[in-house]
Amino acid sequence: MSGTQEAAEAALYADVWTSVRPYGVLSPGEQSAALFAEWATPGASVLDAGCGSGKGGLALAAHGYAVTLCDLTPEGLTPEAERLPFFTQGLWRRIEQPRASAAPRYWWDYVFCCDVLEHLPTQYVGLTITHLLGASRRGLFLTVSNTPDAFGAWVGRPLHQTVQPFVWWRDTLRELGTVVDARDLVGTSLFLVTPR
């Protein structure tokens, strides 16, 4: 994605977060934090990739994780989430946020990414998954929506650009990492993936 396209995406989501009030009411990340805590090592470092409102990151922090947030824009962050470390990042680019205590290749123990990948054009999904796995030492916790979004009508275009069934996501993830858990939930898919 070119710098111009990325800037346009950032502007679109800044507009969505500031003008479409219902958009941030429900947080898939917040709803998934307890499931993540059942899988992940307590006290680990976690990147909430595509954090949106930051509610998911706050829920992870409440479970005792050292959380860093990233997204295309900080416009969606709640005032409470603004206290967590944050950086701006398009996930289709290599994630290069350094951590002094991390090994050269991996910046965080885990990457947590909920309700994000379906927002990408399909041609960027594989590259993004590769970068997310490359930033995690232990694994990627991922949820994706398998249904069209309801908020695109507010901004004149669908926000879910890659609407695919569970099997498509599972098979794509198997090509890029080791899928250790895969759950077909109603309208949402959940995956735990470790780097190879």
Per-residue pLDDT, 103:
45
Q: By the 8 A CB rule, do 132 and 49 touch?
A: yes
Q: What is residue 98's predicted lDDT score, i.e. its pLDDT?
A: 54
Closest to 48 measured CA to CA, from 91, 8, 1: 91
Give per-residue pLDDT as tens, 71-90: 999 999 999 999 999 999 88
pLDDT for the residue 41: 95
Closest CA to 110 of 139, 68, 71: 139
Would strands 45-49 and 66-71 be described as parallel, antiparallel, or unpaired? parallel
Report yes or no on whether pTM surpasses 0.85: yes
Q: Edge-to-edge strands of the sheet including 188-194? A: 86-88, 66-71, 45-49, 108-114, 136-145, 188-194, 178-185
- pLDDT of 105 reads 47
Residues of the chain with pLDDT under 50: 101-105
55 contact partners, CB below 8 Å, separation of at least 6 = 24, 27, 29, 30, 78, 81
Q: What angle do CA 65, 190, 129 make, to 5 degrees?
A: 80
Structure tokens at 12: 């679109």
